[in-house]
Structure 1
Amino acid sequence: MAYIKSKDNEKFKTIKSLLASKKRYKEQKYLAEGLRTVELALEHGADIDMVILREGTEFNLDLEDHKVHTLSRDLFDQVSDTENSQGIMAVVKMMNLSSDDFDPARHKRVLILDRLQDPGNVGTIIRTADAMGFDLICMTKGCVDVYNPKVVRSAMGSSFYMELLIESQEAILSILKGAGLQIVSSSLDTDNYYDEITYADRCALVLGNEANGINDFWVENSDLLVKIPMYGKAESFNVAISGALLMSKMIKRENK
């Protein structure tokens, strides 16, 4: 176990650099902080590059097969993304798909996130898509970084094995259309209520930006627009709540 106390240490510099999205993608690694998050990374066989502990912390984890580095309290606080850190994080290697990895036989239920910005929403949606049995999550360029520490924490382990594809909206559309998936978008500008529709067995659901909804590109290229009925005075649902309702209905269609 290596102990690091100098900010000039090269290993520390690498760890700290992963707080920046650009550096994460250059290194193809990201930070996953918190005891439960690290436990889930170990449980699900994530490709862990190293485990980082804060000086003075101990955990009942089997870390024998992993490189463990202890940072001084000051250095750990510099890389921690939480106010009350538990004193443990892991550096995990990314597992991104490319367009060529799309498999129509395996990717039958696809979720598309169109320029979502809130890390908590995105993490919750990833976790929900996992729970609902979706096969692939596509992130359009302009979304918050899926490896943002807050996204990883909110996903509660689902980030470690859910298949992710980060591409332009044009590339994603081409892949899905080529595979014959029905594209369904959540929109207020329709008379189709989500719970009155029969969905195709192979379909893709588009969820739009928190402030502006789905952009015109997806509206124009969708096979079906649906909305969720609202009976109170609120103007809209939170996108994570909308996604949960829509995914639940679509998965029920396939399980009938």
Structure 2
Amino acid sequence: MTVIHSAANPQYKVLRLLAQDSTAWRRQGRIWLEGDHLCRAALQRGVQPQLAVYSESCRSDLRLPAAQELVLADVLFRSLSGLESPAAMGFVIGIPEALPVDPRAPTVVLDRLQDAGNVGAVLRSAGAFGFRQVIALKGTAALWSPKVVRAGMGAHFGLRLFDAAGPDSLDTLQLPLLATSSHAGHWLHAAELPWPCAWVFGHEGQGVSPEVATRAALAVRIVQPGGEESLNVAAAAAICLHASAAGNAA
């Protein structure tokens, strides 16, 4: 066990960068998980940490053999944390092994979604409604960035994930692509939804790009009797993915 009390410690500096910089995970080849819930979710999916990090006052029972265990002074952990209420523990894990796209897996495609909270929320809905694969096209918030990982609440570990993919990656899918729109297409509640399928959700302001939309077999929109201009993309994704799941279960 290593105990660190100085912010000048090189190991602490590298760890803080990993926890706070949205691109450091790529440079370091490692991912930061903060909090008991995320760490347990990783363990339940068979992920083993490279490094376990605790604050000195941490009382979690989630202590286990790791490649290395690090204890930080409470003030250092608070400075490291990206949460308003620091969770007092975290894991560093390796980047999951890159796998090929499964052409027949129910899939969610993220087309340049910018907000990390939206991306994480869509991952949670994907996992909840039986979509096993998520393809994030270039321009989407990085799937393994700290904010997206926190927003995903553990959904990452049950999904097959592809980050910064090109639109041509969609051509490997052997299932229909369904595109969402705020103003055109079939009404979702009346549409015949194929299963399995791939749903694509687009940029918060611009929607699905023309390049991706041309690949879609069906465009759908959600009825909004309240008259709002559009739904938040994470809310729209939850509605669409639930509709697919419900139709498949019927």
Q: Same fold (TM over 0.5)?
A: yes
How far does residue 193 in structure 1 lie from its aligned partner after superposition? 0.6
**1:31 corresponds to:** 32
Aligned residue for 1:154, secondary structure, equals helix
Identify which of 197, 208, 227 aligns with 1:214. Answer: 208
Alpha-carbon distance between aligned partners in 2 of 1:168 and 1:157, rounded to the nearest angstrom: 22
**1:4 corresponds to:** 4
Quote the RMSD (CA, aligned, Å): 1.8
Q: 1:94 to 1:161 in 2, by over 3 A?
A: farther
Q: Report the residue type matching 1:227 in the other structure.
A: R
How far does residue 51 in structure 1 lie from its aligned partner after superposition? 1.3
Alpha-carbon distance between aligned partners in 1 of 2:167 and 2:185, rounded to the nearest angstrom: 27
Q: Report the residue type matching 2:155 in the other structure.
A: S
Q: Report the residue type matching 1:102 in the other structure.
A: V
Alpha-carbon distance between aligned partners in 2 of 1:139 and 1:68, rounded to the nearest angstrom: 33
What do the CA deviations read for 1:97-119 (whole angstroms, capped 9, x no partner)?
35xx1233xx4210001111111
- Check conservation: 2:132, 2:158, Cα contact below 8 A: no
How far does residue 150 in structure 1 lie from its aligned partner after superposition? 2.3
Matched, 1:102 2:101: yes
1:221-232 correspondence to structure 2 within 5 Å: 221-232=215-226
Q: Report the residue type matching 2:118 in the other structure.
A: N
How far does residue 123 in structure 1 lie from its aligned partner after superposition? 0.9
Q: 1:227 to 1:135 in 2, by over 3 A?
A: same
Q: Report the residue type matching 2:201 in the other structure.
A: L
Identify which of 159, 163, 173 aligns with 2:160. Answer: 163
User: TM-score, normalized by length of structure 2?
Assistant: 0.91
Matched, 1:126 2:126: no
Q: Report the residue type matching 1:23 in the other structure.
A: A
Q: Report the residue type matching 2:161 in the other structure.
A: L
**1:202 corresponds to:** 196
**1:234 corresponds to:** 228
Aligned residue for 1:160, secondary structure, equals helix
Q: 1:191 to 1:7 in 2, by over 3 A?
A: closer
How far does residue 65 in structure 1 lie from its aligned partner after superposition? 4.3
Q: Report the residue type matching 2:157 in the other structure.
A: F
Aligned length, in residue pairs: 249
Alpha-carbon distance between aligned partners in 1 of 2:212 and 2:65, rounded to the nearest angstrom: 48
- Check conservation: 1:33, 1:90, Cα contact below 8 A: yes
What do the CA deviations read for 1:150-180 (whole angstroms, capped 9, x no partner)?
221221111123110124332322222xxx2
**1:46 corresponds to:** 47
Q: Report the residue type matching 1:130 in the other structure.
A: G
**1:154 corresponds to:** 151
Aligned residue for 1:221, secondary structure, equals coil
Would you identify which runs of 4 or more consecutive aligned residues in structure 1 move more than 3 Å?
Answer: none
Alpha-carbon distance between aligned partners in 1 of 2:48 and 2:210, rounded to the nearest angstrom: 38
Q: Which moved more, 1:50-59 or 1:234-243?
A: 50-59
What do the CA deviations read for 1:14-60 (whole angstroms, capped 9, x no partner)?
21231323321122211111222222222222231111111222211
How far does residue 245 in structure 1 lie from its aligned partner after superposition? 0.9
- Check conservation: 1:117, 1:209, Cα contact below 8 A: yes
Q: 1:126 to 1:209 in 2, by over 3 A?
A: same
How far does residue 146 in structure 1 lie from its aligned partner after superposition? 1.4
How far does residue 148 in structure 1 lie from its aligned partner after superposition? 2.3
Q: 1:75 to 1:62 in 2, by over 3 A?
A: closer
- Check conservation: 1:96, 1:165, Cα contact below 8 A: no
- Check conservation: 2:180, 2:200, Cα contact below 8 A: yes
Q: Report the residue type matching 1:93 in the other structure.
A: G
Matched, 1:187 2:188: no
Identify which of 137, 142, 145 aligns with 2:142. Answer: 145
Alpha-carbon distance between aligned partners in 1 of 2:147 and 2:17, rounded to the nearest angstrom: 16
- Check conservation: 1:109, 1:204, Cα contact below 8 A: yes
Alpha-carbon distance between aligned partners in 2 of 1:168 and 1:156, rounded to the nearest angstrom: 23
